[in-house]
Chains A and B, each alone.
Chain A
Amino acid sequence: QKEVEQNSGPLSVPEGAIASLNCTYSDRGSQSFFWYRQYSGKSPELIMSIYSNGDKEDGRFTAQLNKASQYVSLLIRDSQPSDSATYLCAVKGDGQNFVFGPGTRLSVLP
């Protein structure tokens, strides 16, 4: 059974700090990796997708992928209270459905 694991949190960081969110996955055939942000009472919003090993930066967000270690992470620099949300990691293999992790709740303290 394909699994995606995340620490449930809550992860608390002070405003302005770097928040580091981690995700591991079981299926070595996974090819695509995603981070979604979900505010309470809202639907998930895609914030990052990454397909190859290494780092991908978009504004304050950096996704890091290490396929050998089956590990993907999301770094949020200069964290803001508005970043407080649940972050879902998702992976997808070729011809496969998305598999979502349980999510990590992030709290950025002013």
Chain B
Amino acid sequence: SAVISQKPSRDICQRGTSLTIQCQVDSQVTMMFWYRQQPGQSLTLIATANQGSEATYESGFVIDKFPISRPNLTFSTLTVSNMSPEDSSIYLCSVEFGQGAFYEQYFGPGTRLTVT
């Protein structure tokens, strides 16, 4: 497993502004993931971030709204741009460890975002 930290842990933002969430891992990982979890809902994958390449976005998520950086093997950022109240959610980063068919995924503590 790994120790994963996220900053900030929570924030309250005004609509129209942007927030950048940082995710730091204590070991090198190839793949990092960003999820959104709205109140009472399960996890929705936003994008997969590999070091040295463009992030891969899931259906319904676009780079202009959720730009992602992955400058090295231990760090990634997710920006929520031009926020609206509908973006209020918990944002989680995660990492995968394993090989072959045997992978496990571990989550950071999350960032609770409220947009007013």
Contact = CB atoms under 8 A, between A and B. Distances in A.
A2 to B, nearest CB: 12
Interface residues of A, number: 20
A103 B42 contact: yes
Interface string B97-110: 00001111111111
B48 A97 contact: yes
Interface residues of B, number: 19
A100 B92 contact: no
B45 A97 contact: yes
A43 interface: yes
Interface of A: 31-32, 34, 42-46, 49, 51, 88, 90, 92, 94, 97-98, 100-103
Interface of B: 1, 33, 41-43, 45, 48, 90, 92, 101-110
